[in-house]
A and B are shown apart, each in its own frame.
Chain A
């Protein structure tokens, strides 16, 4: 363990590797995101993810935000375990009727001010599952949505861009 640990220390962080276009965009995005978050709420941004019927593809990419390449915590974005600690709800899936109540309850459990981001084509309008007897469809049909991030699933970079758009003045409705 020590060997791997020290090796990682010596080899530096992955994000310092020669910047590919991807990497450069990421650093820039992250920096502006963290500026905006500090200005708007004066601390890191707490995010709670809710799967409202996703195929689990969106979750995989949301997970990826935490890996060493994206490492969103350095920009002041933090995933929290309870809606009661959250500023932002990231909702995925075509809101299955079996999850509707849980989504509403989770929304109510989140303190104000809060933002809701609908992540993925399913959350935007039901995606390929639109019209099913078992789905409500758009997240916005159940809880008020501040921002939609399209994609099936959206890539980690698209997710970061979305979160930035959410917090930039003018891009989102002021709710505080």
Chain B
């Protein structure tokens, strides 16, 4: 989708440090990140009139408490939830529709949440719904489904683990240049190939790193954005895929970009070749090559050759990938880290991580076969 009446920009970024343990109450860190985003933009919090809060644990904090803590006095729009680029699109739509002028989009990560286990009745072992065809065979977790998709993908195109290993290796290089990243030691090809196999072919180093913290960005209309502290970064287009009940079992696309990709390029009036920086969702490392191909950034089956050795995808390369380290090495921010880093790069504020050419960025969020994607641009 795209906004019809005006352009909407991301104008402020706020972060608490990503930490292995939750160091302060979640409401407090959410307020802290939001205030940083407002301050970064140069907007008084009292001007903000919309908020989107994303949590992944239960019970969630009170959005009202967060809004009050920020100093929002006139909350006109609130819609919580979503992951990654999609809530930015929802907020942009609300701004475009005149429901509000400036929206804070804030993600709170709290690892207190247990990983979601299959719904097995503890007394009888019975499992209902679609899980009844999987859990009795020991298939119950995302990581396992990723393993099935990853093996199929590598087999179909004759791609080797030693090639795709360069994604986590290069992202670790990027994390070492990112003060917010949790991972702070280098990774070699040997380190990767010797890392523990959990659900073969998925290794420990293919999995993202759970962290705690709060991460916010502020969005507003173009006319206001131009008066603020930084070069506005516009959300040109976005789309989410249609999720069916059989989401993990959808037929794979084997030729060209997916309908979701075609939609965002059409709405942005840009093509895959125009995308300078690639922010590919990496809850698991295997999502990165699948997203690259789904978005038409490289031809089907070419990801292994493209990433091998790392030169094409590292900062300074042809198309740097996840210049912040991604979820594998910065930490699991559910796609929020990708958006924040893309904004810093497009502003030219990424310090030692700054890419040579950074006018456009493509961002994907969540699973390559059910997720969302969007395009950011300085124009």
Binding partners A and B: no
Q: Which residues from chain B sit less than 8 Å from chain A, CB to CB?
A: none
Q: Which residues from chain A sit less than 8 Å from chain B, CB to CB?
A: none
